[in-house]
Chain A
Amino acid sequence: MTSGASISGPAASGPASGGAAVSGELYGLGPIEQVPPGEGRSFGVNNQQIAVFRLRDGSLRAVSAVCPHRGGPIADGTIDQTEVLCPLHQHAFALDTGCSTTGAPPLQTYPVFVDADQNIMLQLE
């Protein structure tokens, strides 16, 4: 199972801005041991705050760390194989797409994986 990639970010259908995106820069976030199984930890990456979750099957998911509802710390949320619950008001978000199943605006998702040296590697757009 690969990490979640965004299906259609807001930029996909927005007005043509002409801004060229730097594609796929990789960031190493350090050893996987930082994130206990079934939990999340937040990382500051290139001035963005990212919540990285380690699912119980060993795979990783990365989403934006701030709940779009009222700013809750997503990394403190409870997860299962498919979704994360924000700890403040229990809004639920699919870990693969960032879409909320409870009516909140979506989280951003980022490709993330564990490399051969057991380091967390995150790709920013």
Chain B
Amino acid sequence: MTAMASRTARSASKDSRRRLVVIGNGMAGARAVEEILARGGGAQHRITMFGDEPYGNYNRIMLSHVLSGDEDAGDIFLNSLAWYQENNITLHAGIRVERIDRFAKLVFSDDGRATPYDVLIIATGSRSFMPAVDGLYTAGGLLRPGIFAFRTIDDTQNMVAYAQQDHHHRAVVIGGGLLGLEAARGLQSHGIDVEVVHSGGHLLNTQMGPDGGAVLRRSVEALGIKVHTNSRTTAILGTDKVQGVQLRDKPDIACDMVVVAAGIRPNVDVAVTSGLPVERAIVVDDQMRVPDEDEIYAVGECVQHRGEVYGLVVPVWEQAAVLADHVTGADPSSAYLGSRTATKLKVAGVDVASMGLQAPERDTDEHVVFSEPSRGVFKSIVIRDSKIVGATLLGDSRKVAYLTQAFDRGLPLPEERVSLLFDIGGPGEEAAVAELDADAQICNCNGVSKKAIVETVKGGCNTVAGVMDATRAGKGCGSCKLLVRQVVEWAADGSVAEDPTSAYYVPGVPLEKAALMKAIRQQGLRSVSAVFAALAPGGAEDAKSKMGLASLLKMMWADRYIDERDARFINDRVHANIQRDGTFSVVPQMKGGVTTPDQLRRIAHVADKYSVPMVKLTGGQRIDLLGIRKEDLPKVWADLDMPSGYAYGKSFRTVKTCVGKDFCRYGTGDSTKLGIEIESRFQGIESPAKLKLAVSGCPRNCAESLVKDVGVVAVDGGRWEIYIGGAAGAHIRKGDLLATVDSPETVKLLTGRFMQYYRERANWLERTYSFVPRVGIDHLRSVIVDDSEGLGAQLDAAMQASVDNYVDPWTERGDPFTPGQFRTSLPLEVLPQVPVR
């Protein structure tokens, strides 16, 4: 960040390249530079960029995800500071350009610098529009505390920090457009009650008509966001802190914070001050040049082209490409002719797509409408001369790709108009992909066309992951991933699409699980390093494969397994679960969720003694001590004097139980006793993925047995139902009934037999909710219950060997297995800390 480009640099430099200066380091400015570099512009230009914000370029579209906590602010950067260095771009971040001298060809910035240019690009973007409302500003002209715009990373982070303060409960968002609804939804995820105040007659009035707006309102209100339309805010109430908003002719609304999302306005101050033509925005021609200025270009939300000002990302990408064609001379005939804007996005969790007209304008226009407010679905298409001139789709995005295409290209439409709205036994998704024009944009975040994907596939890249890496398709918000996959599959002619390594048990050893196990047995490979040496290409180790192999070998060899600690994941090396700040969580075993006053006293003592930042009840009926330092782990285990609960491993975790018949007046079976017995038997056995079990004492199912890897339910008459393959996490699945048996002993036998079959047959990290439907419940029942393949005794014996080999890993506390096993790896620097509640 030294002042290379100073007044003197001009004459001192021997570099003959043209000096390209870019004012604005947002998505438009950085994209323009990327396009210029892609055309070899780096050899022609020395590039200097000025950015108002003190960061690299980030994906502004993702700010709503940062607000909702779904993304970390650090993860939305498109160009890290390293990118600028790699491309020899001098970046002045956090420095604002104030004026351009078009005659001396100098740019003046607020740090007192004068930077000479040969070519100038203005990409100053937009800012939040602040409507005339009393009480917005302090005497010093800043927004009052508690009032926020929603435009930058800083805005977003300030808003999150404010929303997380305990005494802030209510927010008002001014503006019911895209940004306002995103802000409202994001704030909700911080536990804030949100009301949206919108001056328009219906939500999203720039994208859709009143009927669609009404359906959207219903969906938004169903999320718990109150909506006030036709409501103009006149003042922010409260003297030192925000206490509410005042509306014209309506009651006041009390709140602790206000977010203003009432639209954006182009940043044109620099252009106006410098005497460039500005109407609604900076005027540019079809070459993206400012009229009468040969060497000044402008791009993005700050420009007005043929009377239009765009606030969406797609036109910006198109403009940047044309601009780069001219700046580099790559294509002097290139011209930007304007964009037909089709918006497709998720607003507050609702799919919204809109393009062209909102409603018919002429008597001869056709209007095809479908409305189903209870499901939040609304579809409207306006057709003129058998071409789509407008469409609005809400709550169902399935036909969007096709409609966008038809709108952009003016494609002929099917006679039966209803098929525009629904797939009625017609061509399915594949045909829809085939119908897409080569230029159709698949990834709207990174501007990747169908053609680019197809060419990448034709160029030899035939995996979905590979294409995504190569083109950046699907690497923005990710909502197009399914479409990217479909295009790749279509381009690869359906035959090639899977990563070749996906069939392997682990990526570094080219064998499927059955073949791998056979080779391991035949060659007597008892350690992970022996497997690599014998079976991996070139004998090469592979870090990504170690954990899966360690698990498999332990399962296969039990006490004869040679345990190389470096093959374990850190959690399994130190028997605790690593947290985001490098500390660990400790969950002692609490069989069946049953504990004692003595255990609770010891846990409380440990929590006090080690200043445990959070003590949390888990979903598996245990107690989690979070934020334990690695070096304290052995001492914590010693003070607890309880066995490990294995809450960190790909292993048998826990058995959740209900209170059972001893206390519950409905209980029909002793679920607690059985749960404890199951947990005692199978504690700690490793498996391809974690195993969570439950036993319920009656069909009321208080232990949620139907959504567990193995779930047991007592039914009247002393019988027990066993369900397998259930889940209620990222994936929801009701388990399949494996068998109904008459004794707890049989429950334990079949549970063990199923888990062993799963351990031997499932892919690495394949949960039972995938494994059971893949193999089929009928097959599982015949193998496990009916023993149709004669495997029963063998499965039982293998499981018994694992059970016999159980050692509580927390006994390693007195005698570390490796030198420095519990030595801190935490950096000296302050790390991002998990907040203490």
Contact = CB atoms under 8 A, between A and B. Distances in A.
A35 B582 CA distance: 19
Interface stretch (B512-520, B565-573, B802-810): B565-573
A77 interface: yes
Contacts of A88: 578, 580
B161 interface: no
A49 B823 CA distance: 14
Interface string A46-64: 0101010000100000000
B543 interface: yes
B498 interface: no
B2 interface: yes
B386 interface: no
Interface in B68-93: 72, 74, 80, 82, 85-86, 88, 90
A47 B544 CA distance: 31
Interface residues of A, number: 45
B543 A83 contact: yes
B565 A39 contact: yes
A16 B74 CA distance: 28
Given A42-B824, A74-B825, A13 B74 contact: no
Interface in B579-593: 580-582
Interface in A65-112: 65-66, 69-81, 83-85, 87-88, 90, 92, 105-106
Contact of A106 (B82, B569, B570): B82
B529 interface: yes
B46 to A, nearest CB: 12
Contact of B2 (A17, A51, A69): A17
Contacts of A87: 569-571, 578
B89 to A, nearest CB: 11
A88 B571 CA distance: 11
A33 interface: yes
Interface residues of B, number: 44
B619 interface: no
B546 A78 contact: yes
B820 A34 contact: yes
Contacts of B86: 13
Contact of B820 (A41, A84, A92): A41
- Looking at chain B's contact residues, the main secondary structure is loop
Interface in B546-573: 546-547, 564-567, 569-571, 573
B793 interface: no
A105 B79 CA distance: 11
A70 B74 contact: yes
Given A69-B74, A73-B827, A36 B543 contact: no
Contact of B540 (A47, A66, A81): A81
Contacts of B4: 15-16
A74 B570 CA distance: 11
B828 interface: yes
A105 B80 contact: yes
Contact of A10 (B85, B90, B825): B85
Given A34-B820, A78-B547, A79-B543, A16 B827 contact: no
A76 B825 contact: yes
A52 B414 CA distance: 66
B831 interface: yes
B570 to A, nearest CB: 4
A80 B532 CA distance: 11
B53 interface: no
Nearest to B539: A81
Contacts of A76: 570, 573, 578, 582, 825
B542 A15 contact: no
Interface of B: 1-2, 4, 72, 74, 80, 82, 85-86, 88, 90, 508, 529, 540-544, 546-547, 564-567, 569-571, 573, 578, 580-582, 818-820, 823-829, 831-832
12 contacts: A16-B2, A16-B4, A35-B820, A39-B573, A42-B823, A42-B824, A42-B827, A56-B529, A70-B74, A73-B826, A74-B825, A85-B544
